[in-house]
């Protein structure tokens, strides 16, 4: 029998892990944790140790791991048809899911374009927006506006609209040119305001840019309410409301990248609901299958769709499709996910959990090296700083966040951080006691790492 140690050796021999400097494992006790199974919010390693999945396995899981109902649908669908192409063919799971998504999103949404993951959903949105303007006779509208420190995926198109150096800088010679506006990062407000006197002044920069360049701008793409990969930076919904108005005024499309936020994370199905707006195009992935298997969708309106709808010879077809577009197993799981969310009132049931998280986060403010504590719905984040008064960050190379992660892991919680930001994004089915357990482990880990020396 292969022992755990042998599996890990083979892992390090053959597997190149994502976002990971593989050399860190050389000569270190710290190795990848080998997970054997999952149940609910817990993951179990090969030795049977149990961990709370505090980050929903990279923001995907919502209804718990190895969920019996989702497992059942997955196997049933695989026995009927595991995959079939979606051009000139269709299947009931793809149809049923599209209908449900459109009904959930409400007017004016009318069409669902499937792809495989968040990055591809964003690629689809960008190409759709550009081709829309092209077919409207405005090919000069070719620029996309996005925020500094934005994240929209790891493929080159999505990296182009991204703004985080570690993902982008090396590839700058390869990506297409985009326009950037300052992100509304409230803890380090670009306008030096406090939340109490904030009048969303940072939106003025957007208006100036739109005013100058709207003739060449196709769309603005945003992460709604939370810039996830930037470190769970959060901003008020009012920003989105104002942005929608500006996009209307200057005839610019609004692309809402809901890949991380949709299906409950913010306390609603879609984050745009908090702002009382509707984007022109929005992207969903991650939670669409409850985090089970890859699937994504780019959802839009007849306004966009009609610009593509013409005789074949007019050459307005949207020539974009992935091998696994609308995979039946993935769509069947997604339909079941939406049925469970509705049947069990999952979104409504989040309110007391959100309150509980708020209460548990309060305690972190007293920690000497916690500069900011923030929350949007079921997401909580704690930003650690070297010096609280000066908001001085820990040096990148110190890996303070990673040290906290390792400490918490020993105590049964998975909190894979972003730089100096420790965050909680647990599966939605977590209960109040478990929120307390998770945050307690994090609190102790931060205290141990930042106050020990």
Ligand X SMILES: *Cc1c(COP(=O)(O)O)cnc(C)c1O
Only one residue has tokens 């936020």, namely: 261
Within 204-223, the residues that bind ligand X by CB under 6 A are: 223
| Of the residues 38, 64, 93, 153, which one makes contact with ligand X according to CB under 6 A | 153
Residue 416 and residue 51 in contact, taking contact as beta carbons nearer than 8 Å: no
- Looking up tokens 């196997």, which residue turns up? 75
Residue 266 carries which DSSP code? Answer: T
Alpha-carbon distance values, 297 to 58, 223, 265, 287, 334 (Å): 18, 16, 17, 11, 11
* Interaction of residue 162 with ligand X, rule CB under 6 A: no
Q: Can you tell me the distance from the alpha carbon of 310 to that of 140, in angstroms, rounded to the nearest whole number?
A: 22
Distance in Å, CB of 140 to ligand X, minimum: 27
Q: Which helix (H) or strand (E) holds 120?
A: helix 118-135
Q: Applying CB under 6 A, what is the total number of residues that bind ligand X?
A: 13
Binding segment for ligand X (CB under 6 A), chosen from 116-124, 230-238, 386-394, 431-439, is 116-124
Q: Is 152 in the site for ligand X (CB under 6 A)?
A: yes
* Closest CB to ligand X: residue number: 118
Answer yes or no whether residue 123 interacts with ligand X by CB under 6 A: no
- Residue 98 or 221 with smaller CB distance to ligand X: 221
Task: Return the number of the residue (153 or 426) whose C-beta is nearest ligand X.
Answer: 153
What character string, x for contact with ligand X (CB under 6 A) and - otherwise, covers 255-284?
Answer: --x-xx------------------------
Considering only 51, 98, 117, 240, the residue that binds ligand X (CB under 6 A) is 117
* Pick 135 or 158: Cβ nearer ligand X: 158
Provide the minimum distance between the beta carbon of 117 and ligand X in the complex, in angstroms, as a whole number: 3
The answer to whether the bond into 287 is cis (omega within 30° of 0) is no
CB of 415 to ligand X, least distance (A): 17
Min dist. Cβ of residue 3 to ligand X (A): 33
Do residues 270 and 279 lie in contact, with contact meaning Cβ atoms separated by under 8 Å? no
Q: Which of 122, 186, 243, 404 binds ligand X (CB under 6 A)?
A: 122
Binding-site member from 40, 157, 184, 228 for ligand X (CB under 6 A) = 228
Residue 114 near residue 309, CB atoms below 8 Å: no
Nearer to ligand X, 228 or 417 (CB): 228
* Site stretch for ligand X (CB under 6 A), options 21-29, 40-48, 147-155, 336-344: 147-155
Closest CB to ligand X among 144 and 394? Answer: 144
Gap between the Cα atoms of 108 and 15, Å rounded:
45
Instruction: Please state, in angstroms and rounded to a whole number, the distance separating the CA atoms of residues 221 and 254.
Output: 6
CB burial of 20-56 (b: ≥16 within 10 Å; e: otherwise) equals eeeeebeeeeeeeeebeebebbbbeeeeeeebbbbbb
Tokens of 58: 């990279």
- State which residue, 120 or 375, has the beta carbon closest to ligand X: 120
Helix (H) or strand (E) holding 385: strand 379-387
Q: Which stretch binds ligand X (CB under 6 A): 100-108, 113-121, 271-279, 339-347?
A: 113-121
Cα separation, 101 vs 106, in Å, equals 8
User: In this chain, which stretch among 103-111, 114-122, 231-239, 384-392 interacts with ligand X, using CB under 6 A?
Assistant: 114-122
CB of 119 to ligand X, least distance (A): 3
Closest CA to 288 of 40, 39, 60, 55: 60
Q: Which stretches of the chain bind ligand X, using CB under 6 A?
A: 117-119, 122, 151-153, 223, 228, 257, 259-260, 285
């Amino acid at each position: 029998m292969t022992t755990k140690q042998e599996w890990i050796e083979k892992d390090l021999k053959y597997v190149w892990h994502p976002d990971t400097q593989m050399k860190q494992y050389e000569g270190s006790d710290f190795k990848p944790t080998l997970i054997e199974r999952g149940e609910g919010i817990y993951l179990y390693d090969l030795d049977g140790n149990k961990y709370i999945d505090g980050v929903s396995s990279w923001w995907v899981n919502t209804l718990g791991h190895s969920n019996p109902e989702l497992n059942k649908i997955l196997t049933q669908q695989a026995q009927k048809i595991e995959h079939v192409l979606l051009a000139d063919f269709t299947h009931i799971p793809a149809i049923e899911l599209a209908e449900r998504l459109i009904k959930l999103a409400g007017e004016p949404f009318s069409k669902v374009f499937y792809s495989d993951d968040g990055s591809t959903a964003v690629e689809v949105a960008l190409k759709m927006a550009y081709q829309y303007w092209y077919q409207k006779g405005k090919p000069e509208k070719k620029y996309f506006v996005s925020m500094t420190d934005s994240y929209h995926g790891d493929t080159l198109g999505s990296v182009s609209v991204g703004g985080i150096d570690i993902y982008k800088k090396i590839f700058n010679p390869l990506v297409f040119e985009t326009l950037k506006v300052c992100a509304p990062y409230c803890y380090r407000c670009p306008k030096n305001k406090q939340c109490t006197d904030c009048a969303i002044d940072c939106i003025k920069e957007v208006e100036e840019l739109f005013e100058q360049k709207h003739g060449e701008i196709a769309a603005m793409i945003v992460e709604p309410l939370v810039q996830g990969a930037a470190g769970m930076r959060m901003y008020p919904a009012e920003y989105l409301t104002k942005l929608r108005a500006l996009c209307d005024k200057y005839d610019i499309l609004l692309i809402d990248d809901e890949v991380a936020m949709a299906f409950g994370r913010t306390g609603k199905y879609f984050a745009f609901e908090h702002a009382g707006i509707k984007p022109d195009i929005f992207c969903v992935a991650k939670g669409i299958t409850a985090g089970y298997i890859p699937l994504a969708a780019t959802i839009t309106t007849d306004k966009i769709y009609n610009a593509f709808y013409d005789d074949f010879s007019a050459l307005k077809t949207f020539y974009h499709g992935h091998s696994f577009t609308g995979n039946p197993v993935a769509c069947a799981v997604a339909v079941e996910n939406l049925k469970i969310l509705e049947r069990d009132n999952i979104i409504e049931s989040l309110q007391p959990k959100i309150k509980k998280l708020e209460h548990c986060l309060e305690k972190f403010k007293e920690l000497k090296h916690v500069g900011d504590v923030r929350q949007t719905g079921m997401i909580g984040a704690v930003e650690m700083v070297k010096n609280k008064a000066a908001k001085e960050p820990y040096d990148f190379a110190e890996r303070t966040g990673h040290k906290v992660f390792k400490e918490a892991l020993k105590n049964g919680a998975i909190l894979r951080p972003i730089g100096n930001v420790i965050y909680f994004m647990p599966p939605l089915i977590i209960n109040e006691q478990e929120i307390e357990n998770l945050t307690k482990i994090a609190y102790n880990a931060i205290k141990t790492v930042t106050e020990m020396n």
